[in-house]
Amino acid sequence: MRTTRLLLATALLGLCGAAHAADVALARLDCGGPREAVSVAAFSDTFEHENRKIALTYSCYLVRNGDRYLLWDTGNALDGSDAAPKVSLVDQLARIGVKPADIDFVGISHYHDDHTGQLAQFPDATLLIGANDWNAVTASETPAGFDPKQYAERRARFAPWIGRGKLERVSGDRRDVFGDGSVLMLDLPGHTPGHRGLLVKLAKKGNVLLTGDVTHFHENYRSNGVPTWNTNRADSLASLDRFRKIAENLKATVIIQHDPRDIGKLPAFPAFAD
């Protein structure tokens, strides 16, 4: 009898796990980007791309886990610039009936402006950000190498979480966002001190790896290119090596967030991959 109960319990747990895994879905949101090809010479500190131009894109992602949501990166600001998105994140989410207050977590790959531009539109969400990135954002004085005006604007985007909002300074190798192993923030420093990537485990599509800015386009990914403005070259190379091995071991679909050639790896919003 005891053996029968154990077998039944194991079967039920397996069914629940399968149902839960099937309830995880991933969508791409358009978060801006230059309308024309731009020089990417500065994306390599070894002069690899001196004559290359690419029309980079800015991508954000929505992960649905049951009735909970993670918004991954928030793209460029609605500032009227050439790189500004045509439709805000709030308006895109409204197409599927999701309001800003429905977002449980906003995960930030790193603090750069093209990944945090619309962050302040989600003040009720728990902000997940690398601890070392948070330290850089909230430093009492403008860090070396930062333009004071730009730094003040960046800090303002994080204002809802400075001293009062729901905040988690993510540290360690990985952060299990929903507590079920389906979505992991991965430690990939180098581009910034607290840079993170995202692993999403989908029942049908399989494992999906979102790069953040561990790399920016296919050519740099193939050659381990390091942008001139990365905060630590050795960490950048180590993170690229780790990312590549994770992708190989998990047979993951790699989505380079800035490369327009990867947009088609997910269905067009409002559709989700599951």
Residue 274 lies in a domain: no
Range of the domain at 178: 2-265
Q: Is residue 58 part of a domain?
A: yes
Residue 11 pLDDT more than 50? no
| For range 185-211, the mean pLDDT | 98
Q: Which of 34-38, 55-59, 148-152, 260-264 has the lowest mean pLDDT?
A: 148-152
Which range in 76-85, 86-95, 134-143 is most confidently predicted, on average pLDDT? 86-95
12: pLDDT strictly greater than 50: no
Burial of 97-125, coded b for 16+ CB within 10 Å and e otherwise, reads ebebebbbbbbbbbbbebbbbbbebbbeb
- pLDDT band of residue 20 (cuts 50, 70, 90) is very low
Residue 109 has pLDDT above 60, yes or no: yes
Q: How far apart are CA 221 and CA 209, in angstroms?
A: 13
Predicted structure pTM score: 0.89
Q: Which helix (H) or strand (E) holds 65?
A: strand 59-65
Q: How far is CA 157 from CA 75, 150, 152, in A?
A: 12, 11, 9
What is the overall mean pLDDT for the chain? Answer: 90
Q: What is the pLDDT of residue 131?
A: 97
Q: Place 152 in a pLDDT band, splitting at 50, 70 and 90.
A: confident
Mean pLDDT of the 9-36 span: 66
The runs of H, that is alpha helices, within 33-130 are 89-94, 113-116
Instruction: Report the 10 Å Cβ neighbour count for 156.
Output: 12
Q: Which helix (H) or strand (E) holds 242?
A: helix 233-250
Domain count, the chain: 1
270 in any annotated domain: no
pLDDT of 1 reads 39
Query: Tell me, what's the pLDDT at 139?
Result: 85
Q: Is residue 115 part of a domain?
A: yes
Domain-located, residue 13: yes
Q: What is the mean pLDDT of residues 94-102?
A: 98
What's 140's domain CATH number? 3.60.15.10
CA 207/CA 43 separation, integer angstroms: 27
- Distance from C-alpha of 188 to C-alpha of 214, rounded to nearest angstrom: 7
Q: How far is CA 87 from CA 34, 83, 133, 137, 239, in A?
A: 14, 12, 28, 27, 33
Would 65 be classed as within a structural domain? yes
Does 272 reside within a domain?
no
Residue 98 inside a domain? The answer is yes
